[in-house]
């Protein structure tokens, strides 16, 4: 299952469901009702991303990392997780956060500059965005080792892009996880572009092959096939929970938009390539599957769109109504318990701010 570079696919680009000798058994429960729920997830996540991008363009966010085109990789992997599994995200996993029940408004606080975090990681078993590229893989490996020492039957999963695999942190995480048999799943969203550099420049071999070089069993999956992603993620989690150690998943997908809203992909990416990948759109694929099963109609589509629009409206409202933190909040949550040093610094800073009262400063 983990020793070749064949790309696992369970739904073709035209929406036909196909069998796989190793992975079909992991999604036997994904019936028509489940596919309808997955399609709703995909639509809502895309709508969240579009609304957040619009908010950034309107000056309400400092930056945003779009996920357009990568919805299936995120939704599929997230829906394979158990509540007790812990997610270590990069800065693009808005779809994973949605599936972990994070309030979409909270996703924006970090990008608005209103907080250093956004949400309590232990409330959702998911970290907030990690900007240091690749660092989260080490965090996930360490956490997984801790779960192992505690006798937990859970697993950790960490997300990163193809470009991150050129960072030393990823190599170190692979080495530690393999050596200590850590119950961690490395989930690489190979969206073909490390900012402006193609993956072919990042690696002369597949990302999956890089994992195998460290002794980490690896698999490539069609990242635009949400059902295949569920299957391979469940298989990897099964290995972790039974004590068989780490797995690397390379989800082959495509970033349809910019790296972030400060990027212009037209400067380095041919339009013909974008058009090629548009024909592999993850939403269109699942919609075609539902149509072939006679499980989609105008009433259902309208309900899904209404859910997406309501989520987007709440996202915008929450963003615009954000109460920006005051200067004294700088001292909140520095330590879990009160600390005399922080108390003294708080007192000194309050006195400093008070010194400006009655002035034009």
> What was the pLDDT predicted at 230?
98
- Structural domain that includes position 352: 327-360
Which one has a higher pLDDT value, 139 or 321?
Answer: 139
Token pair, residue 278, equals 């548009």
> What was the pLDDT predicted at 284?
98
Same domain membership, residue 252 and residue 103: yes
Query: What are the two backbone dihedrals, phi and then psi, of residue 226, each rounded to the nearest 5 degrees?
Result: -65, -35
> What was the pLDDT predicted at 123?
96
The answer for residues whose C-beta is within 8 angstroms of residue 165's C-beta and 6 or more apart is: 134, 188, 202, 203, 207, 210
Same domain membership, residue 160 and residue 86: yes
**Does residue 239 fall inside a structural domain?**
yes
For residue 200, how many other CB atoms are within 10 A of its CB? 8
**Does residue 1 fall inside a structural domain?**
no
Q: What is the tens place of the pLDDT at every residue in 230-264? A: 999 999 999 999 999 999 999 999 999 999 999 99
> What was the pLDDT predicted at 52?
98
Token pair, residue 297, equals 């109609």
Same domain membership, residue 35 and residue 138: yes
Residue 351 has pLDDT above 90, yes or no: yes
Which one has a higher pLDDT value, 114 or 168?
Answer: 168
Which one has a higher pLDDT value, 357 or 76?
Answer: 76
Rounded Cα gap, residues 46 and 71, in angstroms: 7
Same domain membership, residue 62 and residue 52: yes
Share of the chain above pLDDT 90, in %: 89
Residue 118 has pLDDT above 90, yes or no: no
Share of the chain above pLDDT 70, in %: 99
* Inter-residue contact 110 to 129 (CB < 8 Å): yes
Q: Give catalytic residues, as residue numbers.
A: 255, 259, 268
Average pLDDT, the chain: 95
pTM equals: 0.93
**Does residue 269 fall inside a structural domain?**
yes
The CA-CA-CA angle for residues 90, 91, 97, to 5°, reads 85
- On the CB side of 72, how many CA atoms lie within 13 Å of its CA? 33
The CA-CA-CA angle for residues 138, 139, 140, to 5°, reads 90
Rounded Cα gap, residues 94 and 56, in angstroms: 15
Q: What is the tens place of the pLDDT at every residue in 278-312? A: 999 999 999 999 999 999 999 999 999 999 999 99
Same domain membership, residue 109 and residue 85: yes
> What was the pLDDT predicted at 102?
96
Segment 21-31 shows an average pLDDT of 97
Residue 326 has pLDDT above 80, yes or no: yes
* Inter-residue contact 305 to 50 (CB < 8 Å): no
**Does residue 105 fall inside a structural domain?**
yes
Could you tell me the pLDDT band of residue 129, with boundaries at 50, 70 and 90? very high
**Does residue 242 fall inside a structural domain?**
yes
Residue 117 has pLDDT above 90, yes or no: no
DSSP-assigned beta bridge partners for residue 225? none
Could you tell me the pLDDT band of residue 358, with boundaries at 50, 70 and 90? confident
- On the CB side of 103, how many CA atoms lie within 13 Å of its CA? 15
Which one has a higher pLDDT value, 96 or 360?
Answer: 96
Could you tell me the pLDDT band of residue 222, with boundaries at 50, 70 and 90? very high
Could you tell me the pLDDT band of residue 5, with boundaries at 50, 70 and 90? confident
Which CATH number goes with the domain that contains 197?
Answer: 3.40.50.970
Query: What are the two backbone dihedrals, phi and then psi, of residue 215, each rounded to the nearest 5 degrees?
Result: 85, 20
Which residue shows structure tokens 């309050």? Answer: 350
**Does residue 219 fall inside a structural domain?**
yes
> What was the pLDDT predicted at 361?
57
**Does residue 2 fall inside a structural domain?**
no
Domain count, the chain: 2
Segment 3-25 shows an average pLDDT of 95
Same domain membership, residue 254 and residue 295: yes
Segment 108-116 shows an average pLDDT of 88
Residue 347 has pLDDT above 80, yes or no: yes
Same domain membership, residue 354 and residue 205: no
Same domain membership, residue 272 and residue 155: yes
Rounded Cα gap, residues 225 and 64, in angstroms: 25
Same domain membership, residue 177 and residue 165: yes
The answer for residues whose C-beta is within 8 angstroms of residue 344's C-beta and 6 or more apart is: none
Same domain membership, residue 17 and residue 164: yes
Same domain membership, residue 335 and residue 266: no
Same domain membership, residue 346 and residue 231: no
**Does residue 352 fall inside a structural domain?**
yes
């Amino acid at each position: 299952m983990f020793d070749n570079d064949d790309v696992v696919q369970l739904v073709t680009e035209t929406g036909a469901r196909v069998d796989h000798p190793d992975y079909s058994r992991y999604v036997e429960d994904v019936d028509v009702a489940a596919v309808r729920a997955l399609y709703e997830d995909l639509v809502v996540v895309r709508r969240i991303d579009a609304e957040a991008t619009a908010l950034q363009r309107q000056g309400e966010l400092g930056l945003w990392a779009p996920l357009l085109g990568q919805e299936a990789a995120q939704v599929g992997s997230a829906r394979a997780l158990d509540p007790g599994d812990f997610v270590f995200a990069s800065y693009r996993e808005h779809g994973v956060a949605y599936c972990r029940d994070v309030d979409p408004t909270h996703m924006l606080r970090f990008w608005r500059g209103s907080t250093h975090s956004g949400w309590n990681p232990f409330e959702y078993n998911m970290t907030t965005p990690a900007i240091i590229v690749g660092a989260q893989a080490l965090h996930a490996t360490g956490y997984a080792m801790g779960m192992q020492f505690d006798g937990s039957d859970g697993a950790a999963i960490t997300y990163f892009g193809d470009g991150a695999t050129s960072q030393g942190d990823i190599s170190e995480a692979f080495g530690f996880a393999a050596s200590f048999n850590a119950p961690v799943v490395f989930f690489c969203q190979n969206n073909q572009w490390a900012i402006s550099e193609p993956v072919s420049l990042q690696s002369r071999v597949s990302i999956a092959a890089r994992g195998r070089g460290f002794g980490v069993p690896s698999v490539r999956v069609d990242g635009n096939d949400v059902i295949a992603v569920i299957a391979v993620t469940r298989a990897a989690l099964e290995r972790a929970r039974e004590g068989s150690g780490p797995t690397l998943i390379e989800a082959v997908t495509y970033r349809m938009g910019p790296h972030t809203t400060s990027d212009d992909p037209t400067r380095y990416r041919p339009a013909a390539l974008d058009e090629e990948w548009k024909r592999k759109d993850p939403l269109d694929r699942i919609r075609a599957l539902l149509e072939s099963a006679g499980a989609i109609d105008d009433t259902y589509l309208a309900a899904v769109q209404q859910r997406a629009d309501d989520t987007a409206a709440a996202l915008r409202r929450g963003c615009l109504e954000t109460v920006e933190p005051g200067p004294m909040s700088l001292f909140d949550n520095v330590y879990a318990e009160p600390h005399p040093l922080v108390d003294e610094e708080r007192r000194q800073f309050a006195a400093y701010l008070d010194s400006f009262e009655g002035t034009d400063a």
